[in-house]
Each structure stands twice: as structure tokens, then as C-alpha cells.
A and B are shown apart, each in its own frame.
Chain A
Amino acid sequence: MTTSIVVFLLVLTAGAGFFALNVQRLVRYLRIGLPENRTNDPGKRVENVLSIGIAQSKIFRDPIAGPMHAAIFWGFVVLTAGTIEILIQGVFNAFSYDALLPDPIYRFYAFSQDAFAVLVLGAIGFAMYRRLVLHPKRLEGDKLEHTDALIILSLIGGLMVTLLLTNAYAYLAGSTLVGPEKFASRITAQMLGRSVSNPALWSGVFWWGHVIILLVFLNYLPYSKHLHVVSSLINVYFSNTSGPGQKGVMRPMDLEAEVEQFGASDVDHLTWKNLLDGYSCTECGRCTAACPANITGKTLSPRKIVVNTRQRLMEKAPLETGDRMEFVHPRLVHGEGGDAGAATATQVVADRLLDTYITEEELWACTSCRACVQECPVSIDQLDIINQMRRYLVLSESRFPEEVQPAFESLERNGSPWAFSPGDRARWADGMDIPTMAELLERGERPDILFWVGCMGSFDDRAKKITVAFARILKACGINFAILGQEEHCHGDPARRMGNEYLYQMLAKDTIGTLDRYEVKTIVTSCPHCFHQIGNEFPDLGGNYEVIHHSTFIERLLEKNLVPLQSENGKRLTVAYHDSCYLGRYNDIYDAPRATLKRALPVVDIVEPKRSRDRGLCCGAGGGRMWMEERQGKRINVERTEELLATGADTIAVACPFCMTMISDGVKAAAADVPVLDIAEVVAGQLAS
């Protein structure tokens, strides 16, 4: 054994060993979080890893940074083979895959190494240029600095350069292992010139340089946002944000449990998966760039929520695990400047994620639109953390914006988030001859479908028109339907979105009781929030019904030609359709409303606003924000309406009563003369009389 082999083995052991200890430490930190089971449906999980992780599907949503990152990532995967070859050379210094592979395959492999080295180097160069010269907005903000990124880019650049130089000098030293497939290495050799003295020595130097940089890079990862290199594929595997299961369903909660607190105020009340999300965040900022609150000047930044979670974990976990390897301070965990980051252990114990890092203001600014979750390339669930902290605020500390309290109280007393008399609930149906479930039961009859109206549709004067329009369509098509009438009350979704799980479960369970008493199987509703709640979240409480949103239902009726429409109306309408978050990102319903418009209106152009479909900008009312005041920045609905009006459309179409209110307000604020109509109203307006 030569000295160099011994030294190499020592260095490798030290480097790899230190890294392994760090990984072990980080895994131990995850255990201070609550347990949860993420082992179901491994088939779907693997599918996500392949498409989101390996194929980089979400990364490519950015047309410039997408290919750039994919090049680096795929480059790394391919170059790993070469790395292994190099490490084996540390012991068997003449080793090459040439000895193992058939010649054409080996040459293809050798070419791939050089090709990707060049590709990666080019991508790195562009990445540095982009970050330092172009200053994309989403790479700024949240008190993040560029140091971490620049270190990593430099290290990767260094790896590529040392790789090429090792090969170049080897070639100059007469090595047979640098064939013409290693074109880049040969070009490098040419650039170095033939009059280099002792090229073999230099090859060795750069070989060692490569190994050292590799080990430095490896051990830098746990202290950097590039930890995602290790954790992201694992994170995608264990994530539920693209399935398995229904998207956007809030966590079930056992309120009978003897727990010290409800919801999460600190990292030890989040689950290990939330903490793993913290490790996997690359600070790319795509989530924050898509966040309607952040766009309009609120303090909420989904990225910051995740970065703070990691920072707090790195601060608290060492104390909780009694970790003696701890010398990680939030400063080293890239990003946080002076403010947070406790100086003493006592301070660490006194601090917590809530208030010290993440403020109430940020948590309440969220509209639960899911744009952040949609964008995240490593499948982080920012919304889950926000929701768990909202639950803590409401259930454990009764802290929430004061204007929310009347909504909670009204839900409790009136079964509706607005102070209206429950007796008025079915007044919209006066004179329309629509039976209630109770009336039908008395006659021994049963409807084919229950029309769930919702509180907006029952009480809000503008939304009542949508209800009436849809009821007219149902009647015109001869659908055998009924309503609950005064037996309908809120299913509790607003309470749930605002963190009041206790009030939610009371209302939801009671609703399930009513629905089951009438043996309801199929429900149609004109509100996406009712649709999502009853169809997707009720099953966790034992309520299982088939729920259809009215846009889908109308589309089906139109497809079957069941809707008696007027033949022609001649006018060419330009319609901008505003995607509802709870139909779109939550339930992938983008086409049905558009198809309905096209079928119902004989002559129509559908124009898309700048941010449309799964990139659609929220109207601002979700997440319970319908009941809260906007006190900072620009109004979200104004921002979205401006975008819709900029399409030049002469009509705006919506499929949600909340969107209807917000966009209508936005149109008034812009003093524009553009009507805002629900899909049902558009179709009802076309009914043959």
C-alpha cells in the first residue's frame, strides 16, 4: 500500500464519515417532529419521484431556469458514474471502466462524461450570470443572501474544471484513457499547450483537487440549502401534494386526544415530514413569486415559512436531542441575518417558531390558493405548515383577527358565517316550486340528486341570482332534484380554513348526520368550497358522497344535449374566465367551465388572462380571508381584476360565488363597465324560453 492510497483512504473515510454522521444527526433531528405514516401507495409515490424528481416536471415550469437546472441535475446523475470511477482510482490508480465495459459502450460513457461536464459548466456559468447580473426578483428577498448559492456554484464549477484538467494533463502525460470521445478534455489539453513540464504531476494534483472539492462539497451540503441534493427525491417520495390521495385535503385532527396543545406553535408539533420539507427547500422562491399575498405586498412569503421552519429546527433540535455534534447556528443555515437565532440555550427554549420567526400577520394573510404548493419543484407543502399553525393560534390561544370572531360566533349560533336568520335560507326558492328533502320524504319520494346551495348562494343577493339561474337550468332539463332548505347549514369549511377545527367538526358532523338521514348519495353544488369540502374532506369524518360542481354538471348536460338552448344570438362575445382555486389547483377542473361557455354561447372567444389555469391568480377570498380585512399592500382582488380587464374581454366569467363577489368589487373599483357572470348565469341566459 502506497502512502497515497493510505492518505486517500484516510481522507475518504474522514470526509464520508463526517458526512454520514451529519446525515445521521439530521435524521435524528427529524424525530423531534410528530410521527406520521407516509408509506401508503408506494406505486404513486415512485411515479412522483420519476416525474417530478427525475424528469424535473415542475422545474421546467420556468422556461429559463428550468433547462438550466435540469442540465445541472442530470449532469450530476450522469457524472456520478465518473465520480465512482475516480474514487476507485484512489486505491487502484489505473482503474477505468474501460476494463469492464465493451468498447462502444465505454466510449459512449466517456463521451457522456465530457459532454455533461461542458453542459454543467455552461449551466453554472449562466446560473452565476443570472444570479449576479440579471437579479431575478424571486432570488431576492426574505433576507436571503447569495453567498450559499455562489459557494455551491463555485464548488460545482470547480469539480467540472478539475475533472477536465485532470483528464487534460493526463492526456498531455500520454494517458491512453483520454480517447477522442473525451473531446472537452482534449480541447482543454490543447489550450494548455504542449510545453507543460511534468503533466503527470499536475494531473495528480488536479485529481486530488477534484477529490477534495468533492468531499468539501459533500460536507458542505448539510449546512447549505443544497442539502436538497440529498433530501429532495426522498421528500418528493414522501410528499402528498401531487397524490397519492386527494389533493388539498387538510389533516384530520383528533380533538378528543389528551394532548398538551392543539395545532403547532413550534417545530416539535409539526410532523417529521414538515421538517423534511425544511431540509429540502432550495430557496428558489417560485412559491413566493406565485403567492397572491406576497405579490400584493403582504409580509407572507411561503418560502420564508419553510426556511424559518428549518432554521428553528436547527436551533431547537440540538438542545432537544442532546446533540454534542451541534455547532450549527442559524447563521450558518443559510439565509437568516441578525434577527432570529437565539444566542443562549435559555433563549432557544423561550423562543418558538410562532411569533419569534413566523408572525400572525403572515399566517392570516394566506388565501390557501395552493399556488405555492403547485410551484414547488421538490413537493414541499407550505400550506400544511400554515394550517397547523393557524390551528394552534385558534384552538390553543384563541388568537385571530378580531373581525373573524363574529363569523365564528355566527357559525356556532346560526349555522352560517353571516348574521342571517336560518329561517331565511331557502327564500331564494320562493315561487320556484322546488321541493325540500323533508317534503319529498313525507311523500315517500326521493330525488336523484341533492342541490347543495351553500351560505353565499342562500343569503348573498348577488349569489342568489346564481342559485336561481342554476335551479332554472335543472328544471329546464327536467332533473329530479331537491334542496335541504332550512335544514342546510354551513358544513364548517370556513371555520376549518381559519384553523377552528373544533367548530368545523361540530358543523361537519352534524351535516353528515343530516345527509345520511336522507340517504343522500349524489350532490351538485355551485360553490367550489362546498364542493371540495363535502366531496373531498367529508370522507375523513365518515361522510361519503359523490359531489359534482355545477360547471361539470352543466357540461355533462350540454354534452348530452339535454339543455334547451336558444339557437342563435349572434353577438360575438369575448369572455375572460377566471379560474377558481378550489376548482382548479385543488381539483384540476379547468376545462369544464371553458367548455360550458363554448357550448352554451354560440359565438364566443375565450381569452386567457396572463396568469391562467394552474397559474391562475387567486381572487383573494379563500383561506377564510372573505371574513378578514386586508390591511397591507394592494388588494388581491384589484390585482386580479386588473389582469382580467387587461385581456380586453367584454365579459368576465366565474364559477364561484366568492370569486363573483371579489371580482365584481374589483370591477367596481376599476370603474369598468364589464359584467361579471357565473357560468350558470351565462347558460341560463341562453335557455330557450
Chain B
Amino acid sequence: MKIAVCLKRTPDSESRFRIAGNGAAIDETGLKFDIDDFASYAVEVALQINEKQAPGETVAFAVGPDAVQETLRKAMSMGVDRAVQLKTDAPTYDGLAIAKALAAELKAGGFDLVFFGKHAFDTSGGIVGTATAELLGVACVTSASKLEIASGKGTARRELEGVAEIVEFSLPAVVTIDEGIARARYPSLKGIMAAKKKPLETKPAQLGQPRVTVKGMSLPPDRPPGRIVGEGVAAVPELVRLLRSEAKVL
């Protein structure tokens, strides 16, 4: 099958973040970047489908500046066949603009499936995948936690709050991938070497004028140091009170 995977380059989720001087971005010094976690599951799912139903082609797409090429190479070291960079200078929070750029590129691609991560660690919006599907006019399953593809049809499971929805759809389709569906494979050194020679194409991204812009970034108020509420059973009422009024989790 011809499968496209759209991925994003995001910083490692364990990092501590600082705000950049201009107050409207994070300070990237010292941060390590990699394929966004959910997008990496999407790559894995695509690779597994094409391994089971060979022959096939997996193509990775990413919108971003040249730094994103490293991320596309990582996807190729996992086994993706080729990659396309839609080049843009600045990252944007305008999910619809990115979706338009991707849809323009994917339209003529003849893909049976297009995968996205369900959302990206940085922008955390979950917009691009589903919006792209809408622009392409194909079936879209958002947040699949299980997926099976056979004979031009797909079955997916979506976790809702407390229940799960099982859906069926026909290809071509867009699916955004939730966690739990697969673990992203660790590239072998062999794969890393091979990726250096796989084709990576660069084209300009047709983003247009972004209509969602970042006005500011700030750190949430510091987690106050924890405290021992009390000892033994006697401390329970106070704990419950705090959970209710302060932490607002009860």
C-alpha cells in the first residue's frame, strides 16, 4: 500500500523549558529534538502494515525548516522509503494553514492511507491531521488506538471517555494515531546507515498567511513544594479538603 506519514519535530518531553528572550517562544538551547512521540507510533503502524502487506511504499512528510530533515532521516532509518520536506522558515500554531500545505502536497499522491500522530507534544492541538482529511475529502478516524487494514477497508478503535467506539471505513482514509497501538521501533545501525542514502525531497510549503500567532509564552506558576499534610488517619479530612479546594481533583 502507498502510505503517507506526516510527522513533526518536537523537543524531548522530559525537558525543562525556559522562555526565550522575546517572550513568545521557548528557548531551544540545549534541547534535544526527535520525531514527536505520537507521530513515531504512526510511522511504526505504517511500517507494520506494509511489512504485512508487501509490496508497498511508505513516505514521510514534514513541514518545517531544514532542521526537520534530521527527523525525516530518523523516520527513514526506521524503514520509511523516502521523505518530503515542505520547507517553511518558522513553525506556526496555525494548524489549518499547515493542513492546507499538506493537503496540496498529498492530493495527487494516490495514497491509500495517510497517518498523523493524534497530536504533537509542542502545539498539543490535534488539528492538522483531521483538518487535512477534511480538505482531502476522505474518511477520517481521529485518535485510533487499534487499527486493522484489510482489502481496502479499515477497522479502528477509538477511546472515548469510559467507552470505546469501534468504527469501519473504506480507503483512502486519514487516521490519526493514539498511543498504545504500537511501540515505535528502535532503528538499527544498519537502518541508520541506509537512511543516509534514501531520497529526501525539499519543496516550499504553501502556507499562506498564518491567522493563528503566538502572542506570548509563559511558564505556569511553580508547583509549590509538596507538604506533609499530617500524620495518620487524622490527616485525612485535611487532605480531602485540599484535593477539593486547592488541587481541584475531587
Contacts and interface: CB of A to CB of B under 8 A. Distances in A.
User: Do any beta carbons of A and B sit within 8 angstroms of each other in the complex?
Assistant: yes
Interface in A345-400: 394-398, 400
B197 interface: no
Interface in A399-443: 400, 402, 405, 408-410, 412-414, 419-424
Contact of A413 (B14, B16, B185, B192): B14
Nearest to A393: B188
Contact of A423 (B16, B186, B189, B190): B16
A414 B188 contact: no
B34 interface: yes
Residue in A402, A408, A422 with the greatest tally of chain B CB atoms within 10 Å? A422
Given A405-B183, A413-B32, A421 B189 contact: no
A507 to B, nearest CB: 12
B30 interface: yes
B188 A395 contact: yes
A262 B190 contact: yes
A410 B14 contact: yes
Contacts of A421: 14-16
B16 A396 contact: no
A501 B34 CA distance: 20
A396 B188 contact: yes
Nearest to A398: B188
Contact of A398 (B14, B32, B187): B187
Contacts, number: 50
A8 interface: no
A409 B188 contact: no
Contacts of A405: 183, 186
A260 to B, nearest CB: 9
A502 B185 CA distance: 16
Interface residues of B, number: 16
B12 A413 contact: yes
A262 B185 CA distance: 18
A398 B16 contact: no
A261 B194 CA distance: 12
A502 B16 contact: no
B10 to A, nearest CB: 11
A203 B192 CA distance: 73
A24 B207 CA distance: 72
A1 interface: no
A423 B191 CA distance: 32
Determine the main DSSP class of A at the interface with B. helix
A505 B52 CA distance: 34
Interface centre among B183, B185, B190 (most CB of A within 10 A): B190
A255 interface: yes
Contact of B34 (A398, A413, A423): A413
A414 B189 contact: no
Interface string B168-192: 0000000000000001011111111
Given A402-B183, A419-B14, A421-B15, A412 B188 contact: no
Contacts of B16: 421-424
A266 to B, nearest CB: 16
A398 B12 contact: no
Given A412-B32, A413-B32, A413-B34, A262 B12 contact: no
Interface string B22-44: 00000000101010000000000
Nearest to B192: A502
A414 B191 contact: no
Contacts of A398: 185-188, 191
Interface core residue of B30, B183, B189, B192 (most chain A CB under 10 Å)? B189
Contacts of B12: 413-414
Nearest to A418: B14
Contacts of A262: 189-190
Contacts of B186: 398, 400, 405, 408-409
A501 B189 CA distance: 9
A494 B149 CA distance: 39
A396 B190 contact: yes
Contacts of A501: 189
B196 to A, nearest CB: 12
A355 B174 CA distance: 39
A131 B185 CA distance: 49
A502 B190 CA distance: 11
Given A419-B14, A421-B16, A423-B16, A255 B189 contact: yes
Nearest to B187: A398
Contacts of B188: 394-398
A419 B37 CA distance: 14
Contacts of B191: 398
Contacts of B189: 255, 262, 394-396, 501-502
Contacts of A396: 188-190
A410 B192 CA distance: 18
Interface string B98-125: 0000000000000000000000000000
Interface of B: 12, 14-16, 30, 32, 34, 183, 185-192
21 contacts: A261-B190, A262-B189, A262-B190, A394-B189, A395-B190, A396-B189, A396-B190, A398-B185, A398-B188, A405-B183, A408-B186, A412-B34, A413-B32, A413-B34, A414-B12, A414-B15, A414-B32, A419-B14, A422-B16, A423-B16, A501-B189
Given A398-B188, A413-B12, A422-B16, 17 more contacts: A262-B189, A262-B190, A394-B188, A395-B188, A396-B188, A396-B190, A398-B191, A402-B183, A405-B186, A410-B14, A413-B14, A414-B12, A414-B14, A419-B14, A421-B14, A501-B189, A502-B192
CB-CB nearest 9 A-B residue pairs = A398-B188, A413-B12, A395-B189, A423-B16, A413-B32, A421-B16, A502-B189, A419-B14, A398-B186
